[in-house]
Amino acid sequence: MLPETLILLVVLASLVLYAVLAGADFGAGVWEFTTALQATERERSLLYGAIGPVWEANHVWLIFVLVLMASAFPAAFAAACSALWIPLLLALAGIVFRGVGYAFRSYAAGAVRQQALWGGVFALASTAAPFFLGASAGAIASGSLAVAESGRFEGDFVLGWLSPLSLFSAFFAVGICAYLAAVYLAREAYQASEHDLVARWRQRALSTGLWVGVLSVAGLAMVAMEAKPLWRGLALRGLPFMGCSLAAGIFSLWALWKMRFTAAAVGAPAAVAAVLLGWGAGQYPLIVPPALSVETARAPEAVLRAVLWVALGGMVLTIPSLAYLFYLFKIDRRKRPSHEIPYAGTAASPGLRR
């Protein structure tokens, strides 16, 4: 296979990992946002504790997507940045405030007012970030960005990104994040034997899961009407992915229903991954449709080769480290970093995290 195709696959894989890992971190914030008034301290502690050790590593997948695009497909990167400059800036603001909101909240232990303030910032920003990232993805998928053959953006800098599909994707992305987070949190609560929290997160996961399922069918209909070229690509190459997504989604709901939380925590991200892979397959070889394709946007051969080798070599170091991180904090539950979790060890949380 050609190096540019392989790099594109690495980009797509990183995007998938970003969506299913960092997406859930955003989702936790979405829940914090929508349940701000009813959440108990114990619930919060589960939610914030789940993100703590992993969110920064999860965030790096996005950086990785950006650098790979900028290095391997510079023309497409520049065109997308010009055309999507408003939604990307808004997403960026969300990412910034989500990160510092979380960190400041965690380390402001003791100062109740500051902590509440940063918790609020975290919740709002966690919702904004996937919303605008989703909008950006939808704007690209719609194929209606006014990018010329030369890579210049000739549309309107303020409103050029808006389309029904981009708005739909914005809400869809938030929904996906909320679903992933609810599924993972149900699993974490189950492992920590927090039975009332299990019930709550399971119920939330089931209801958002159904909603997201309905939305995705609506989304397909919208693609069929609004983005004809993508629809044709999907019909040509994307059908298996759409089928997998549907199956995995239904499987995850069934697993939730049956209280098989680890199975659900496999099925839900698989469904999300299949949507993104299907999008990639349907759109290939275009990167920023209609004008910029793999062929027109790619970097010189030597750069592609160097970047590809570095990317593969780097994975050899990164993947095992990442696996260890997740093993340590998501699978091996023996000891918990009690001193780092806000509220743990206070009277309000007896029996949390053994």
Partner 1 sequence: MENLMAARLQMAFTLGFHIVVACFGVGMPVLMLFAEWRFLRTADSGWRMLAKRWSKAFAVLFAVGAVSGTVLSFELGLLWPEFMAVFGSVIGLPFTLEGFAFFLEAIFAGIYLYGWERLGPRAHLWSGVPVAIAGLASAFLVVTANAWMNAPTGFELASRKVVSASPWRAMFNPAALPQATHMVIAAYIVSGFTIASVYAGSRLRKGESTYRRRAMALGLGLAASFSPLQILAGDWSAQVVAKTQPVKLAAMEGQFRTQPAAPLRLGGWPDERARATRYALEIPGALSLLAYGDRAAVVRGLDEFSPEDTPPVAVVHVAFQVMVAIGSALFFLSVWAGVRALRLRDLPPSRLFLLAVLASGPLAVVSLEAGWVVTEVGRQPWIVQGVMKTSEAVAQARGIPWLLAVTLGIYAILAAGTIAVLRLLAREGAQEAGSAS
Among positions 312-331, residues that touch partner 1 (CB under 8 A) are: 314, 317-318, 321-322, 324-325, 328-329
**How many whole angstroms separate alpha carbon 271 and alpha carbon 20?**
10
Segments of 51-188 assigned E as strands:
none
Amino acid at 278: G
Q: Is 60 in the site for ligand HEM (CB under 6 A)?
A: yes
Q: How far is CA 48 from CA 9, 24, 58, 200, in A?
A: 33, 12, 15, 16
**DSSP three-state, residue 300:** coil
Among 13, 52, 162, 215, binds partner 1 (CB under 8 A): 52
82 binds partner 1 (CB under 8 A): yes
Q: Which residue is nearest to ligand HEM (CB)?
A: 63
Residue 11 CB, nearest approach to ligand HEM (Å): 16
* Integer Cα distance of 242 and 284 in angstroms: 16
Tell me which of ligand HEM, partner 1, none is bound by residue 236, counting a contact when its beta carbon lies within the kind-specific cut-off of 5 to 8 angstroms: none
Q: Rule CB under 6 A: say whether 260 interacts with ligand HEM.
A: no
Q: What is the dihedral of CA 66, 72, 76, 80, to 10 degrees?
A: 10
Question: 3-state DSSP call for residue 271?
Answer: helix
Q: How far is the CB of 318 from ligand HEM (least distance, A)?
A: 13
Nearer to ligand HEM, 92 or 108 (CB): 92
Q: 16: closest CA among 150, 170, 188, 137?
A: 137
The only residue of 19, 78, 140, 281 in contact with partner 1, by rule CB under 8 A: 78
Helix (H) or strand (E) holding 235: none
CB of 145 to ligand HEM, least distance (A): 24
Are 135 and 87 contacting, i.e. CB atoms less than 8 angstroms apart?
A: yes
Which stretches does DSSP call E strand in the chain? 286-288, 292-293
| Residue window 153-172: x/- pattern of binding to partner 1, with contact defined by CB under 8 A | x---xx--------------
- The span of 52-60, 89-97, 127-135, 247-255 binding ligand HEM (CB under 6 A) equals 52-60
Could you tell me which stretch among 54-62, 111-119, 178-186, 194-202 binds ligand HEM (CB under 6 A)? 54-62
Question: Exposed (0-12), middle (13-18) or buried (19+): which is 347, by Cβ within 10 Å?
Answer: exposed
Residue 1 interaction partner, one of partner 1, ligand HEM, none, beta carbon < 5-8 Å per kind: none
Beta carbon nearer to partner 1, 150 or 207: 150
Nearer to ligand HEM, 191 or 318 (CB): 318
Q: Which of 95, 133, 173, 223 binds partner 1 (CB under 8 A)?
A: 95
Query: Do 54 and 325 touch, CB atoms closer than 8 A?
Result: yes
Of 9, 63, 89, 148, the residue at the interface with ligand HEM (CB under 6 A) is 63
Q: For residue 58, give Cα distances in angstroms to 9, 38, 238, 287.
A: 19, 28, 27, 24
Considering the rule CB under 6 A, would residue 237 count as an interface residue with ligand HEM? no
| Binding flag, residue 306, ligand HEM (CB under 6 A) | no
Q: Which is nearer to partner 1, 30 or 62 (CB)?
A: 62
Residue 351 binds partner 1, judged by CB under 8 A: no
- Residue written as tokens 């829940």? 31
Yes or no: say if 219 and 170 are a contact pair by the CB < 8 Å rule. no
How buried is residue 250: exposed, middle or buried, by Cβ count under 10 Å (0-12/13-18/19+)?
A: middle
Site track 243-282 with partner 1 (rule: CB under 8 A), x = hit: ----------------------------------------
SS3 state of residue 153: strand
Residue 59 interacts with ligand HEM (CB under 6 A): yes or no: yes
Number of residues that bind ligand HEM (CB under 6 A): 4
Binding site for ligand HEM (CB under 6 A): 56, 59-60, 63
